[in-house]
Amino acid sequence: MKALVWHGKEDIRCDTVTDPEIQDPRDAIIKVTSCAICGSDLHLFHNFIPGMLPGDIMGHETMGEVVEVGSGVDGKLKKGDRIVVPFTIICGECDQCKRGNFSVCETTNRKRHLADKVFGHTTAGLFGYTHLTGGYPGGQAEYLRVPFADATHIKVPAGIPDEQLLFLSDIFPTGWQAAAQCDIEPTDTVAIWGCGPVGQMAIRSAILLGANQVIAIDCLPERLSMAEAGGATTINFETESVLERLQELTDGKGPEKCIDCVGMESHVMASLPDTLLDRAKQMVMAESDRPHVLREMIYVCRPGGIISVPGVYSGLSDMLPMGAFMNKGLTMRTGQTHVNRWTDDLLRRIEDGEIDPSFVITHTVPLEQGPEMYQVFRDKRDSCVKVVLKP
Amino acid sequence: MFHFSNIIRTKGDPKIVEGGPSLKQPADQLARALGWFSIGLGVVELFAPRRVTHTLGMEGRETLVRAFGVREIMAGIMSLSVEKNAGLWARVGGDGLDAAALLSGLTSDNPKKGNIALALLMVGGIAVLDYRAAQDTKPRRPPRDARRKLYPNRSGFPKGIESVRTAARQIAAHAGQNEVKQGDERRVP
**Are residues B129 and B177 part of one domain?**
no
Mean pLDDT of B139-164: 90
Q: ipTM score here?
A: 0.93
Whether residue B29 is found in the same domain as residue B88 = yes
* A243-263: average pLDDT: 97
Predicted pLDDT at A274: 95
Q: Is A284 on the interface with B (CB under 8 A)?
A: yes
Report the pLDDT value the prediction gives residue B183, as an integer from 0 to 100: 55
Q: Do residues B98 and B175 both lie within one domain?
A: no
Pairing of strands A189-193, A257-260: parallel
* pLDDT the model gives residue B179: 67
Domain shared by B92 and B166, yes or no? no
Q: Are residues A137 and A188 in the same domain?
A: no
B187 band by pLDDT with thresholds 50, 70 and 90? low
Q: Give the per-residue pLDDT at B181.
A: 64
Average pLDDT in chain B? 91
Q: Closest Cα of chain B to A30: distance in Å?
A: 14
SS3 A156: coil
pLDDT tens column, B154-176: 999 999 999 999 999 888 888 77
Same domain, B122 and B157: no
Between CA B149 and CA B145 the distance in angstroms is 12
Asked if A209 and A140 sit in the same domain, the reply is no
The reply to whether A231 and A291 lie within a common domain is yes
Q: Does the pLDDT value for residue B188 go beyond 70?
A: no
- Give the pLDDT band of residue A283 (cuts 50, 70, 90): confident
Nearest Cα of chain B lies from the Cα of A324 at a distance, in angstroms, of 31
Question: Does B24 contact A10 at a Cβ distance shorter than 8 Å?
Answer: yes
In a shared domain, residues A285 and A148: no
Task: Kindly report, residue by residue over A62-98, the tens digit of the pLDDT.
Answer: 999 999 999 999 789 999 999 999 999 999 999 999 9
User: Do residues A63 and A188 both lie within one domain?
Assistant: no
Residue range of the domain that includes A73: 2-170+337-390
How far is B116 from chain A, CA to nearest CA, in Å? 32
Mutation test of the interface with chain B: which of A27, A383, A384, choosing the one with the most B Cβ atoms within 10 A? A383
Query: What's the CATH code of the domain at A124?
Result: 3.90.180.10
Query: What is the arithmetic mean of pLDDT over B6-27?
Result: 92
* CA-based nearest residue to A188, from A126, A276, A257: A257
B91: in domain = yes
Domain boundary among the residues A317, A334, A351 is at: A334
Same domain, yes or no, for A288 and A383?
A: no
Q: Quick one: average pLDDT of A176-195? A: 97
Instruction: List the domain range (segments joined by +) for residue B188.
Output: 152-189
Same domain, yes or no, for A107 and A152?
Answer: yes
Q: Which residues of A touch B145 (CB under 8 A)?
A: none
Region B18-31 average pLDDT: 94
Q: Can you list the positions of beta strands (E) in chain B?
A: 16-18
Name which residue leads in pLDDT, B160 or B143.
B160
Q: How many domains are there within chain B?
A: 2
CB interface of A with B, residues 44-63, below 8 Å: 46, 53-55, 57
Identify the band that residue A189 occupies on the pLDDT scale cut at 50, 70 and 90: very high
Residue B186 has pLDDT above 60, yes or no: no
pLDDT reported for residue B180:
62
Indicate if B70 and B121 belong to the same structural domain.
Answer: yes
Q: Are B79 and B160 contained in the same domain?
A: no
B172 within domain boundaries: yes
What total of structural domains would you count in chain A? 2
Greatest alpha-carbon span in chain A: 61
State residue A67 phi and psi, 5-degree precision. -115, -15
Is residue B73 a part of any domain in this protein? yes
Whether residue B123 sits in one domain with residue B39: yes
Listed residues A314, A334, A354: the one ending a domain: A334
Residue A62: how many CA atoms within 13 Å on its side-chain side?
Answer: 34
Q: What is the pLDDT of residue A74?
A: 79
Mean pLDDT taken over chain A: 97
Residue B19 is nearest to which of A15, A57, A356, comparing CB atoms?
A15
A1 CB near a chain B CB, below 8 Å?
yes
Please check whether residue B2 lies inside any domain of the structure.
no
Answer yes or no: is B18 within a domain: no
Same domain, yes or no, for B124 and B37? Answer: yes
Is it the case that residue B182 has pLDDT exceeding 80? no
- Cα B5 from chain centroid (whole Å): 25
B108 with B186, same domain: the answer is no
Q: Does position A132 have pLDDT exceeding 90, yes or no?
A: yes
Alpha-helix runs per DSSP H in chain A: 39-45, 95-98, 112-119, 162-165, 171-180, 197-208, 221-229, 242-249, 273-283, 292-300, 322-327, 339-351, 370-379
Residues B159 and B68 in one domain: no
Residues of chain B with pLDDT > 90: what percent? 76
CA nearest neighbour of A306 among A142, A218, A183, A132: A183
Residue B99 inside a domain? The answer is: yes
**Do B50 and B108 have their domain in common?**
yes
Could you tell me which chain A residue has the CA closest to the CA of B79?
Answer: A283
A16 and B18 in contact by Cβ < 8 A?
yes
Q: Tell me what the mean pLDDT of segment A279-305 comes to.
A: 95
Residue at which a domain ends, from A289, A316, A334: A334
Q: Which three-class secondary structure state does DSSP give residue B88?
A: helix
Instruction: Give me the count of residues in chain A.
Output: 391
Q: How much of chain A, in percent, has pLDDT values that exceed 90?
A: 98
Collect all residues of chain A within an 8 Å Cβ-Cβ radius of residue B5: 7, 53-55
pLDDT level of residue B189 (50, 70, 90 thresholds): very low
Residue B8 lies in a domain: no
Q: Chain B, 18-47: which have a CB under 8 Å from a chain A CB?
A: 18-24, 28
pLDDT tens for B110-128 read 999 999 999 999 999 999 9
A37 and A136 share a domain?
yes
